[in-house]
Every structure is written in C-alpha cells, then in structure tokens.
Amino acid sequence: MGLQVLLYWPNIIGYIRIGLVLAAWAASGTPALFVPLFSVSTALDGVDGWLARRLGQSSRFGAWLDVVVDNMGRGMLWSLLFEWGWLVSALEWCVFVCNHNTRGDHWKDSFTTSPRFIQAIMANGFRTPLGTWVVSGLHCLPLWLYGCQCGLLTHWLYLPSWIQTLGTLLLGAGRLLALSAEVKTTCGYHHVDKSHSCIQIIAAHIFNVFFVHVMLSHSQTSHLFLCRYGVYGHTLNTLPVMRSWKGKRTESCSAESTYTLLSTLE
C-alpha cells in the first residue's frame, strides 16, 4: 500500500480533525468558536471509523492517527481546564504508548482474553450501554467542564445547577470507569517486563512528563511535549514508508529498540 494509505478518506478526515483541534486551541478564549470547533472534531471521530469500514480502508496508520487526534484534543482541553490537567493527558498517552503498538488497527477486537469488565466495555465496538457511558465520560467530560467554567451551561443552555451537577457526576463516573480500564490494559502490555508492576509502569511515564512540566511551567506547552512523547515513539511502527523500511530489518521491533533507534537519528 505504501503512501496510498496516507490518502485514504478516513485518514483525510483525521487531518481535518487535527486542523479543527488546532483552530479550537487558538480560539480557546472564545467559547462561541471553541465549542463548535471542538465538537465537530469529536463528532468526526465516529465518521472516520464508519467510513473506514464502509470503504474497506482500515489501516494500522489510520487507527494510530485516530487515537493521536483524540489524545491531542482531550489533552489540550484538560490542560486548558486545570493546571494539573496534564496528568490526565499523561495517562492517556501512557496507555497509547503501552497498548496501541501491539494491538494495531483491530485494537477494539483484541481484548478477548481480558477481564470480563474490560470485555463488557469493548463489546460491539463500545456500542453497548456500558461502552456508551465510558466513551461519553472519556470524550464529553472535559467539554462539559469547559461549559461549566465558561458559564455556557448557565447562560447559553439555561441549565439549572442541579442538572449541571448531575451531568458532571454521571460523566465523571464514566471517566472513572475508563480510567480503570486504562490502568488494567496498561498492566497487560506484553512489551513491558512482567517483573515491573502496573504502578511502576505508569509512575515512570508520569514522572517523565512531570519533570518536563515543571521545567516548562506551562500546562499548554507541557501538552505539546506530551503529544510529541506519544506520537514520536510510534512513528516508525505506523507510517507506511517507515514500516516498509523497517520490515527489511526485522519482523517486529520492541518499544525499547524503537526509542534507541530514534535517539541515534536525532
């Protein structure tokens, strides 16, 4: 396939989503622009997957791009909301680094041996009541909180405070369910030495990004680093050109050797 994969329609939608995320970031101080831009980007997340199945254009690169754009958007919003928002983004990039490299474009169907709780969330591509709840908490909670902070829910939608509180609790519970699934799947990452505990794995990633966050002292700048941290470590394994070049060397490459190779190229 080679470079042809880059021009698949689902991937073109991914590029459009990146533009929408960047535009939303630039308009973060103007809720009337930010909310539509971010909402359209989130809505297109479902369109690219449907289009990939419809046109038979599923690819490892497309699955990678989809998660990268999701993490970029949510990480940006969490960093805008709270000074500690980078922690949420750090966890999401950690899960991406630990899992996506091994599961590829069929990652939604790769949890058949996982605990029942994880299988229940992933069942039918999240198209179950539990899966919908978790995905809603994952994607909608930060936008809901943004609406609360900016007064959009009060002055635009005229929602009473009890509905805002109830929505926050429901979406927050969904995000906590997603958190438990993220931690559990990270523990199952088979490239990680099993002698290391789940807490050690996650703590190592978060310590790395925390160190840079302290040095940069700016949550949005830290988010840019997180994007580079998550994306850069997987480029050789997903971009078609890089994968074909790497395939001449070895059938598979561990995360550690990938980072070593990248270090020598810098």
User: Where exactly are the structural domains of the chain?
Assistant: 2-265
> What type of residue is 202?
I
pLDDT at 238: 44
pLDDT at 70: 93
Cα 135 to Cα 20, 101, 140: the distances in Å are: 20, 21, 8
Q: What are phi and psi of 160, to 5 degrees?
A: -65, 160
Q: For the chain, percent helix, then strand, then coil, each to nearest 5?
A: 80, 0, 20
pLDDT at 245: 37
Are 225 and 212 contacting, i.e. CB atoms less than 8 angstroms apart?
yes
13 token code pair? 């939608």
pLDDT at 259: 39
> What type of residue is 149?
Q
Are 186 and 99 contacting, i.e. CB atoms less than 8 angstroms apart?
yes
Are 172 and 141 contacting, i.e. CB atoms less than 8 angstroms apart?
yes
pLDDT at 167: 97
How far from each other are the two terminal CA atoms of the chain, in whole angstroms?
A: 28
pLDDT at 108: 59
Q: How many Å apart are CA 90 and CA 226, to the nearest integer?
A: 7
Q: Per-residue pLDDT for the chain (266 aa), expressed as one digit of tens each?
A: 568 899 999 999 999 999 999 999 999 999 999 999 999 999 999 899 899 989 999 888 888 899 899 999 999 999 999 988 888 888 888 887 777 666 655 555 656 667 788 888 888 878 889 999 999 999 999 999 999 999 999 999 999 999 999 999 999 999 999 998 888 776 654 444 444 445 555 555 555 555 445 444 444 555 555 555 555 444 444 444 334 434 443 333 344 433 333 343 33
Residue with tokens 């690819």: 59
Q: What is the pTM of this model?
A: 0.72
Cα 231 to Cα 109, 144, 188, 241: the distances in Å are: 23, 27, 21, 16
